[in-house]
């Protein structure tokens, strides 16, 4: 993967960035996503935000080597602190991190959001707490995708602030749109997870030490929801 050939995962993320956007890519690492989009003329400008020194330098290098310093600003910052009002950001991508981390980045940086930005989020696990945050902050989920690459399941969640929205507990767990669409990748993912949960429950049964009742009940509930979904 590089700034010319994105991974399938980032290519799918790229497809949800509106044409002509001013993109903030938070946790940009190498900066491949904004640089690829800028090279293609798909966006107008970008900010690549990175909290850590090595990836920050790597993003700077990618931008410099592609002669894009005029259009892409690389900032070393924690989360949405990379965004300044003068950037006029219209879309924010936060990809390749746990859903809880993405949620915390959004929550800690709430003051930097003007509510007009499209959020393109690609959590690696922890989708449920992320969707919960979106609901609690009046973001509607517009698009959801599950895809598999290199034996990992990835989810993409696209959301915009539209006003109050309510999702059921199951919708927060599976994804409201994915539950409806039931794509092959989505069903495969949940079949795999059901096997995992059943294995865990069987281990609990065999375990000599008592497993906290709450934990066992929680996993049993998840296994029941998944079985019902797949039925
Ligand atoms: N977004 C790229 C992708 O999807 O390929 C890189 C993903 S990489 C696994 C996660 C990056 O997020 C790391 O470079 C890490 O330093 C950065 N990161 C984690 N927490 C961050 C935060 N609070 N603010 C900015 N960057 C963060």
The tokens of 71 are what? 């259009």
What spatial distance separates the first Cα and last Cα of the chain, rounded to whole Å? 38
When pLDDT is cut at 50, 70 and 90, the band that residue 217 belongs to is very high
Beta strand pairing status for 72-76 and 43-50?
parallel
**pLDDT digit string, tens, across residues 146-180:** 999 999 999 999 999 999 999 999 999 999 999 99
The residue nearest atom 24 of ligand 1, judged by CA position, is: 79
Alpha carbon 176 to chain centroid, angstroms: 15
Question: How far apart (Å, rounded) are the C-alpha atoms in residues 12 and 23?
Answer: 16
81 within ligand 1 shell (Cβ under 6 A) = no
When pLDDT is cut at 50, 70 and 90, the band that residue 119 belongs to is very high
Name the residue of 23, 27, 56 to mutate for ligand 1: max ligand atoms within 8 A of Cβ: 27
> What residues pair up with 119 in beta bridges, in sequence order?
92, 159
Summarize the confidence of residues 56-76 as an average pLDDT: 98
Mean pLDDT of the chain: 96
Q: What are phi and psi of 183, to 5 degrees?
A: -65, 155
The tokens of 215 are what? 């934990």
123 within ligand 1 shell (Cβ under 6 A) = no
192-215: b or e for each residue (b if 16 or more CB lie within 10 Å)? Answer: eebeebeebeeeeeeeeeeeeeee
**Which pLDDT does position 142 carry in this prediction?**
98
29 within ligand 1 shell (Cβ under 6 A) = yes
31 within ligand 1 shell (Cβ under 6 A) = no
104 within ligand 1 shell (Cβ under 6 A) = no
The tokens of 14 are what? 């790229």
- Cβ distance 166 to 126 under 8 Å? no
When pLDDT is cut at 50, 70 and 90, the band that residue 3 belongs to is confident
Q: Which atom in ligand 1 lies closest to the alpha carbon of residue 93? A: 1
Å from CA of 40 to ligand 1 middle = 23
Summarize the confidence of residues 205-223 as an average pLDDT: 88
Domain regions of the chain by residue span? 8-170, 186-230
**Which pLDDT does position 27 carry in this prediction?**
98
Q: Which fold has domain 8-170?
A: Rossmann fold (3.40.50)
When pLDDT is cut at 50, 70 and 90, the band that residue 2 belongs to is confident
Å from CA of 147 to ligand 1 middle = 20
**Which pLDDT does position 230 carry in this prediction?**
96
Secondary structure of residue 167 in the 3-state scheme: coil
pLDDT for 209 beyond 90: no
- Residue 105 exposed, middle or buried by CB count within 10 Å (0-12, 13-18, 19+): buried
**Which pLDDT does position 201 carry in this prediction?**
93
**pLDDT digit string, tens, across residues 188-204:** 999 999 999 999 999 99
**Which pLDDT does position 55 carry in this prediction?**
98
Q: Which atom in ligand 1 lies closest to the alpha carbon of residue 1? A: 5
- Overall size of the chain counted in residues: 231
CB atoms within 10 A of CB 86: 6
When pLDDT is cut at 50, 70 and 90, the band that residue 208 belongs to is low
What's the count of helices (H) and strands (E) in the chain, helices before strands?
A: 9, 7
The Cα diameter of the chain in Å comes to 63
pLDDT top residue among 133 and 213 = 133
**Which pLDDT does position 207 carry in this prediction?**
81
pLDDT for 56 beyond 80: yes
């Amino acid at each position: 993967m590089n700034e010319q050939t994105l991974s399938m995962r980032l290519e799918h993320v790229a497809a949800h960035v509106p044409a002509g956007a001013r993109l903030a890519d938070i946790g940009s690492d190498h900066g491949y996503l904004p640089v690829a989009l800028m090279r293609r003329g798909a966006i107008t400008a970008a900010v690549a935000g990175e909290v850590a020194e090595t990836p920050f330098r790597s993003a700077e290098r990618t931008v410099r080597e592609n002669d894009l310093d005029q259009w892409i600003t690389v900032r070393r910052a924690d989360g949405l602190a990379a965004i300044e009002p003068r950037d006029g950001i219209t879309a924010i991508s936060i990809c390749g991190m746990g859903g809880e981390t993405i949620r915390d980045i959004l929550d800690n940086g709430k003051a930097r959001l003007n509510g007009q930005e499209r959020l393109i989020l690609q959590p690696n696990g922890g989708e449920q707490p992320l969707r919960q945050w979106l609901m609690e902050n009046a973001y509607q989920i517009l698009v959801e995708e599950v895809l598999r690459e290199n034996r990992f399941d990835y989810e993409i969640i696209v959301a915009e602030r539209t006003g109050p929205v309510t999702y059921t507990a199951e919708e927060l767990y599976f994804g409201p749109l994915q539950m409806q669409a039931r794509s092959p990748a989505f069903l495969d993912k949940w079949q795999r997870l059901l096997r995992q949960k059943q294995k865990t429950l069987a281990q609990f049964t065999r375990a000599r030490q008592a497993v906290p009742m709450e934990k066992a009940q929680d996993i049993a509930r998840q296994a029941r929801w998944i079985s019902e979904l797949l039925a």
